[in-house]
Amino acid sequence: MAKKGKVVIDRELCKGCYLCIRACPVKALEKDAELNSTGTYPAKTVGSDFLSADNKCIACGNCYEVCPDVAIQVYELT
């Protein structure tokens, strides 16, 4: 069975470089449509809920590894 994960992005720390979006092998991240307090569009997870069927995250950690601002946490769901 494939791993499932949960990505948590701190909207205020994210500067919108989108390295995480490019690093994700399953396209589980995308650009947010709402600005954060610094005036940038942060990254966000695709879908509405990490437990829903549209959650694509496989907890690989690529997004966490490339984030220069340490704005991402990845959790493996059991």
What is the spatial distance between Cα 24 and Cα 40, in angstroms, rounded to a whole number? 20
Q: Tally DSSP H helices, then E strands, for the chain.
A: 2, 4
**Mean pLDDT, the chain, as a whole number?**
90
Number of domains in the chain: 1
Spell out the residues 6+ positions from residue 32 whose beta carbon is closer than 8 angstroms to its own: 11, 41, 42, 43, 44
The whole domain housing 62 covers 4-77
Q: Residue 68 is part of a domain; what is its CATH number?
A: 3.30.70.20
pLDDT tens, position by position, 29-62: 999 999 999 999 999 999 766 555 667 899 999 9
Q: How far is CA 42 from CA 24, 28, 52, in A?
A: 15, 14, 22
Query: 0.85 cut: is pTM over it?
Result: yes
